[in-house]
Amino acid sequence: MTTYMYTDKQLNELNQGPNVYSVNPEYAQRKENRTNIVSAKPDSELKKGETNTITTSDGQEFRVIATKVDSKTGFDGMAVAPIVNGLPDYKSVAVIAAGTDPKSPVNKLGPLTRDVAGAVEARQTNLSPQYKVADQFVKEIMDNPQYEVSKLSGYSQGAYMLKLGAKYHIPTTTFNAWFKYGALTEEEKQFLEKNSAMFVDYRRKNDDVVRYNDFNHPEWFTSQNDISNSIPRTIYWIDGTSHRIDEWIFDPVTGQVIGSKGGKPLVSGVYKAYADSLGRMQRYKELKTRWASNRISGAEQIYLDAVQGQILSSSMMNAARIGAEELLNLSEEANNQVSNLWSKIDFTNYTELSIEEVEAIYAGQGVTKNQYVDGFKSETNYQAAKMADSATAFEQLNGQLQEAIEKVLATDAGLAEEFKRWKKEM
C-alpha cells in the first residue's frame, strides 16, 4: 500500500509545455513548439507524433492514463501513473492542470485568448471558469476503481487544483499560483488549515504576472467577505520575479524546490512523506465513517485494522528511508566541510618551526586531524548508519505486516474478495 512519492521537480516538469500543455494537439503542433501530442491511447493505437509516456529529466517514466481538452474554457489536463518496476502504479495517479496558454487561437473572446479571458475572470470572481471542467475530470479519475488519485498539481491559472485538493482531501502542489484562497468554501478552508502539510503552494515574492491577480499579497484575498492579514500556511516563498515554470531550482539529490543553488529544500522529503500519510489516513477515516453509519461488521473491522496498520507502517518506512537518505547527504556535506577546513590550516606559515613541530604543538592542545576530522567523520557516519538501520527495520515491519495479511486472505477466499472490493472504495 506504499504510495509513490512525487518530487517537486517531477511535478514541475509534468506542468511544462511538452507535457500537460501538449495534450492539446493545437499546442503540440504549433510552429514554435513542434512536440509530440500527449495521448492516453494504448501503444497499439498511437500514431506518428503521439506519445503515451512522459519521461522526466531524472529518468522516471509516467504513463498517461487520461487527458482532457476543453475548448470552451481553455482547460487542458492529464492524469499520469508512475512506472514502477516496469508497470504503471495506478494507485499513485497524479492529475495535472495546465497553466494559461496566452497564444492559443482557439475560441478567442474578442482580442483575448480563451485562457487569458479565463485568467481575467478568475481575477474578478476568485475562480477560473476552467475549475468546473477540472473538477469533473478529477472526479472521473477518482470514480474509476482501477485508479487512486494521490496527487494534484497545477501551474499559474491551474492552481485552482488547490481548491480541488481541499475538496477531495488530496495532497496538492502548485507553482506560481494565479489563485485566491477566497475561492475556498468554509469546509474546504477548514480542511486546508487543519491539514496544511498536504498542500504546497510555491510562489515568488515579486512574481511579475501574479501581481496582476493579488499584488503578490494573497493574505488580502483569503476570504470572500473580509480582508485578512493571515498568510495561508500552505504558501512557501522564495525571492524572484519570474513567472516561468521552468525557472524553479531543485535540490539535485532530493528533487525538492530550493531558494538558490546550494540552498536547502523548502519542504523536506520527510515532511512530504508525512503529508502523504495524512492523505491516506483521511481516506481511511472517511471509509470508516461511511461504514459506521450501518454498524461495522467483523470482516470490515479486520479490513480497517489492516489498512490502518499498512498506512502507519508504510508511512514510517517512507519517512525513515527518506530521512536516512537526507541525513546521509548532510553527513557527507559536513564531512567534506570539516576536511576542507582542516586542509586550510597552513603549518608551513610557522617559519621557525618544522611542520612536525607545529603539529606536535597543536596535538599538545588536543587539536589533531584524527580527533577533529576522522573523529567527526566516524560520529556522523555512525549516526547515518543508525538511521539507515531504522529505515531497514521499518521496511521489514511493513513487509511482515503485508505477509501476515496475505496469509489470512489465502485461507479465506470470501474475505479476500471483500478486501478487493473494499480497496476500490479506498
The helix (H) or strand (E) run that includes residue 212 is helix 211-214
Q: Which amino acid is at 230?
A: S
Answer for the pair 134, 165: CB distance below 8 angstroms, yes or no.
no
3-state secondary structure of 144: coil
Answer for the pair 313, 394: CB distance below 8 angstroms, yes or no.
yes
Residue 304 vs residues 137, 411, 419: alpha-carbon distances, Å: 29, 19, 10
The partner residues of 153 in beta bridges, in order of sequence, read: 96, 173
The partner residues of 235 in beta bridges, in order of sequence, read: 201
Residues of the chain with pLDDT > 90, as a percent, come to 49
The CA distance from 211 to 171, in Å, is 26
More confident residue, 14 or 300: 14
> Closest Cα partner for 4 from 67, 66, 94?
94
The CA distance from 179 to 125, in Å, is 11
Q: Tens digits of per-residue pLDDT, 198-236? A: 999 999 999 999 999 999 999 888 865 554 556 788 999
Mean pLDDT of the residues in the chain: 83
The CA distance from 325 to 322, in Å, is 5
CB atoms near residue 150 (< 10 Å): 23
> Closest Cα partner for 161 from 414, 370, 374, 151?
151
- Half-sphere CA count of 30, side-chain side, radius 13 A: 17
In this prediction, residue 243 has a pLDDT band, given cuts at 50, 70 and 90, of very high
Residue 135 confidence (pLDDT):
98
Residue 270 confidence (pLDDT):
61
Question: Hey, what's the torsion of the CAs at 296, 297, 303, 307, to 10 degrees?
Answer: 10
Please provide the DSSP assignment of 236-302 as one string.
EEES-----GGG-EE-TTT--EESSTT--BSS-HHHHHHHHHHHHHHHHHHHHHHHHTT---HHHHH
The CA distance from 307 to 127, in Å, is 36
Answer for the pair 149, 170: CB distance below 8 angstroms, yes or no.
yes
Say which residues have a Cβ less than 8 Å from residue 340's Cβ, sequence separation at least 6. Answer: none
Q: Tens digits of per-residue pLDDT, 254-271? A: 899 998 877 888 887 666
Q: Tens digits of per-residue pLDDT, 267-326? A: 876 666 666 777 777 777 777 777 787 787 777 777 677 767 666 666 666 666 666 666
Q: Tens digits of per-residue pLDDT, 141-180? A: 999 989 999 999 999 999 999 999 999 999 999 999 999 9
The CA distance from 136 to 78, in Å, is 12
Say which residues have a Cβ less than 8 Å from residue 36's Cβ, sequence separation at least 6. Answer: 18, 22, 28, 49, 50, 51
Say which residues have a Cβ less than 8 Å from residue 164's Cβ, sequence separation at least 6. Answer: 131, 134, 135, 138, 152, 170, 172
The CA distance from 15 to 94, in Å, is 11
Q: Which amino acid is at 46?
A: L
The CA distance from 353 to 106, in Å, is 81
Residue 261 confidence (pLDDT):
76
The helix (H) or strand (E) run that includes residue 310 is helix 298-343
- Half-sphere CA count of 32, side-chain side, radius 13 A: 3
Answer for the pair 176, 207: CB distance below 8 angstroms, yes or no.
yes
Going by their DSSP bridges, the two strands 75-84 and 87-88 should be labelled as: antiparallel
